[in-house]
Amino acid sequence: MKLVVVESPAKAKTIEKYLGGGYRVLASYGHVRDLPPKDGSVDPDNGFAMEWEAYADKARQLKAITDEAKKADALILATDPDREGEAISWHVQEVLQKKKALPAEVQRVTFNAITKSAVTEAMQRPRALDEDLIDAYRARRALDYLVGFTLSPVLWRKLPGAKSAGRVQSVALRLIVDREREIEVFKPQEYWSVAATMEADGTEFLARLVRFRGEKLDRLSIGNQGTAEAAKQAVEAGRFTVNSVETKPLTRNPPPPFTTSTLQQEAARKLGFSASHTMRVAQGLYEDGAITYMRTDGVDMAPEAISAARRAVVERYDAGYVPDQPRRYQTKAKNAQEAHEAIRPTDFSRSHAGSGDHARLYDLIWKRALASQMASARLERTTVELTDGTGQTALRATGQVVLFPGFMALYEEGRDDEQDEESRRLPRLGVGDAPAKKSVHAEQHFTQPPPRYSEASLVKKMEELGIGRPSTYASILQTLKDRDYVTLEKNRFIPQESGRLLTAFLERFFERYVSYDFTAGLEDSLDEISGGREQWQKVLEAFWRDFKPKTAEIMEQKPSDITAALDDFLAPFLFPDKADGSDPRLCPACGEGRLALRGGRFGAFVACSNYPDCKFTRRFAQGGEEGAADTGPEILGQHPETGQDISRKTGRFGPYIEMGEGKEAKRASIPKDAGELDLDLAVKLLSLPRTVGMHPESGKEITASIGRYGPYLAHDGKYAKLGSTSEVFETGMNAAVVKLAEAAAGGGRGRGASREPLKVLGPHPRTEAEIKLMEGRFGPYVTDGTTNATLPKSIQPDMLTLEEAAQLIDERAARAPAKKGRKAPAKKKAPAKNAAAAKKKG
């Protein structure tokens, strides 16, 4: 028997079906080991030796692989055909070797598509593990670890509130922040355009003013309304005839098939997918055998695929839509070792695959790949110039006609910017013709700042600069969102205050390591390792030699010195010049002190130099934008029973009220729906929880209160959600009993049936079932109402994303049938999970 190891259960199931008897296919469920998150996992003083540790939640998979390996005649490592796939195979081999379970024969096979022919052919061409790719993986992993575990402690001690920094993520964040700075300093410039609506042969067309008073105009030439009105009058008064007609043929060639980055960009433009969602959906299509491997820098297709695409074009259209010679595309990837075939369908006769998002992404991939082997589009671009009798004023109209659509009949590439006007059609015009003038209008415009990055344009920019690699873009962007360094508004990245502060810190104290050129150069060195042209320890040594002393130098500086340096560095952002010329640092509260950046327990803020006499503070925000200021505690009055002052304050998590001081102080958050806060409401909030009464059946107390997830009722360990803050104080006994009964009846998980979810993550991308994060008896878990999946210890509940939750549920659902069939006798091995499974089954 031969043991085959792959990454996912879906892939394992398909491959085992293709191989038949004599093979046992098991899934590792991704990486099985990693560097443990502690000091010393990488030892720079010992040749960058690494201490690997198996994931706790992969113990069951590793045991199954080990047990089968002991009985196998050969081990076939069939993980994905890239650096990460090579690394997973290497880790599995290393684990089996340590457990003395490694078969005598070990083979590595790769295939670019999960089809029967591709898999069986790959089995005939085994090879050894690629040591160069493994070295490149180790170098990247060690670099990321050394940057994270050396730089993060510096951040925590010198920059309160900062969460982490990464080798590539910090540079991607700098791109977003730099673009925001460009927008902030941008000064809009007024300009006007003048155009006439003309008509010939019943067809209207637009002609723009290009010459006025004998001078050629560019976009910004008309800078005020007066000039625009004069130009408009000149056009209205003139009689325009066609002075010239210029027609130029135009050929447009199809774009190449998708690479990883172009797929992410186009899916963002046309489907609105995030990079991480695109890759997860593409992974599903790949594992279903619908497309080739989706992590690639290559743009060409295999000869047999090109032939199949050309046949499909002829069948769909006709022979005229196929070029005389097959199209071959050259990859721009710097590292040919990691470049594979482009992303394409495994079967061009299959125009549809999957459902929902899978079907939409497959349609995009199929059309792009098919269009890449179609004939060029032939167009005709026409430019018509019209002049008045004096020759001092001229109008220009442009249009475009598609003579032969070619590939455009199937596919047109999306664009990040707006379309131009040249796609409009013009009526047939000749020199001397005098089209009718229908109307003339002048429009005011202002120059626009550069647009914020979308996921598509940011991926494109990173690829242009050579920052990161396409296979890492999705995880980089997801990390920035998960850390709350950026937010997405209308699909555009906006840096948050924490992201601005982190970028400023790194630019001020670690400028070299967040520079675009240095990061791109380091990526090139890592590519050289995977090509066998560089030694991985030498690359790490060159980096570590300068980086370690730099972090030690910054660690020696006082936090106050760090804050003072950042105050100066961020002055244009925090204290921009005022229109009236007054001092932007002058305290608006006392009128005497000067504002400066300060570091606090929960992050940076701006405060008055006259503290504690003046308690004015504001959030770390540009120029003290509205809502950022806090003039200090506000006394609402005295408690009617204790006589103590009740104050309204602002803390890390928003506004709250406080009565008393020190450890004895009583506090309560102010709900967003509380309305206007007065002393009466403050007293009520401080009195919570409120006792509603004794339950008529159990005789136990029912209370109403406000918790982390909103207002609720509680009774005997069970809970029911309330609709608003006012209901906490108004709900009576009858209503409370009904709400608790309804909450209990709506569950199905016994004691925890009525519990509120910790978080509603959203609909599952494939099944559209709502995914919730719940607190269970044995820890947090996610559920879609059908399948429950425990969160691995490696995932923090507050950092969990919808994509990760969906993957956990899918993996748990894929394991469920096998668990029922094979694992029933071994109940004592995992009592918690078996108990939960039995409970669910009941």
d(CA 600, CA 501): 13
Tell me, yes or no, if 485 is annotated catalytic.
no
Annotated catalytic residue, options 55, 145, 293, 781: 293
Q: Which of 537, 516, 527, 454 is nearest to 488 (CA)?
A: 454
- Give DSSP secondary structure letters for 575-614: SPPPTT---TTB-TTTSSSBEEEEEETTEEEEEETTTTT-
* 20 secondary structure, DSSP code: -
DSSP code of residue 759: E
CA 1 to chain centroid: 43
Distance of CA 674 to the CA centre of its chain: 34
**Is the separation of the CB atoms in 623 and 574 below 8 Å?**
yes
Contact 207, 386 (CB under 8 A): yes
Question: What 3 state SS string does 39-95 have?
Answer: CCCEEHHHCCEECCEECHHHHHHHHHHHHHHHHCCEEEECCCCCHHHHHHHHHHHHH
- For residues 285 and 407, give the distance between their C-alpha atoms in angstroms, rounded to a whole number: 24
Tell me how far CA of residue 135 lies from CA of 101, 111, 545, 622, in angstroms: 24, 21, 20, 45
Pairing type for strands 74-77 and 105-108 reads parallel
Neighbours of 494 (CB within 10 A): 16
Query: Which two tokens mark 174?
Result: 């700098």
CA distance 561 to 665: 34
Q: State the distance between the two ends of the chain, measured CA to CA, in whole angstroms.
A: 38
CA pseudo-torsion sign 565, 568, 572, 574 = positive
Specify whether the backbone of 532 is left (phi greater than 0), alpha (psi in -120 to 50) or beta: left
Of 381, 451, 367, 382, the closest CA to residue 414 belongs to: 367
| Single-letter residue type at 496 | Q
* CB contact at 8 A, 653 and 669: yes
Q: What does the CA dihedral 362, 364, 366, 372 come to, rounded to 10 degrees?
A: -160
Residue 470 parent element (H or E): helix 470-482
Residues catalogued as catalytic:
293
